[in-house]
Amino acid sequence: MRKLTALVTGASSGIGKATALDLHNHGFTVYAASRRIEMMQDLANEGIHALSLDVTDEDSICACVFSITQEQGNIDILVNAAGYGSFGSIEDVSLDEARRQFDVNLFGVARLIQLVIPGMRANHFGKIVNISSMAGKVWLPFGGWYHATKFALEGFSDSLRVELKPMGIDVILIEPGGIKTDWGIIAAENLRNTSADGVYAKKRYPGFQQHGKAL
């Protein structure tokens, strides 16, 4: 039987890296993708294919999918783990940064999905795994833009699941709680850079001080 092929984004770190390794250890042919290809050398040493991918760049997305389908014929499993949190007050975070966050957390996911659907449909088989978050269900102040991307990913995935079910393609939404990865470091750094010195830092917010450390 043909080995199933998986593409895992965000594989240079955290959840994506662990997922790529786990799929490899379970016998899948795995392509790990991220911008920092050097951070996937450990995966390459295990026999995982490491590919450069910026999910905000159309050419990069197309080249990544093309090179896998050229080598393997199809992508059977897509795990969308690339993502980040750009925290800060809604007033302070620029719209450019908010859009960039949507580009990574929603539109990059969506574009990859558009490109893998035709092959999955032809095989009447596919698994699309979107890493959302508990932040797609609940919210905290200063995470407004991040929550907006994850709430959007939830609605998008739920709708997509119903569209693709008759074609034999499963859409799976994962909603992790807090996991110790670089995610928290990046979110806290963004929060410090945008709102740590402003008017918001002088106020107290219910439910925030005990969860968020950065302000």
Pairing of strands 169-174, 49-52: unpaired
Residues labelled as active-site residues:
146
Pick from 133, 190, 194, 195: which binds ligand NAP (CB under 6 A)?
Answer: 133
CA distance 160 to 156: 6
| Amino acid at residue number 4 | L
Q: Which residues, in sequence order, are CB contacts of 115 under 8 Å at separation 6+?
A: 61, 62, 65
Could you tell me how many residues of this chain bind ligand NAP (CB under 6 A)? 30
Pick from 64, 131, 152, 191: which binds ligand NAP (CB under 6 A)?
Answer: 131
Kindly tell me which of 13 and 89 has the beta carbon lying closer to ligand NAP: 13
Instruction: Give residue 29's region: left, alpha or beta (phi > 0; psi -120 to 50).
Output: beta
Pick from 6, 7, 23, 55: which binds ligand NAP (CB under 6 A)?
Answer: 55
CA distance 56 to 93: 19
Question: Which of the residues 64 through 123 are near ligand NAP (CB under 6 A)?
Answer: 81-84, 104
Alpha carbon 42 to chain centroid, angstroms: 20
Q: Among 134, 35, 20, which Cα is nearest to 77's?
A: 20
- The residue length of the chain stands at 215
Site mask for ligand NAP (CB under 6 A), range 32-51, x = bound: --xxx--x------------
From the CB of 93, what's the least distance to ligand NAP, in Å? 16
Pick from 16, 141, 143, 212: which binds ligand NAP (CB under 6 A)?
Answer: 16
Kindly tell me which of 60 and 74 has the beta carbon lying closer to ligand NAP: 60
Q: What is the longest distance spanned by two Cα atoms in the chain? A: 62
Pick from 110, 140, 186, 188: which binds ligand NAP (CB under 6 A)?
Answer: 186
Q: Which residues of the shown chain bind ligand NAP in the complex (CB under 6 A)?
A: 9-16, 34-36, 39, 53-56, 81-84, 104, 131, 133, 176, 178-179, 181-183, 186
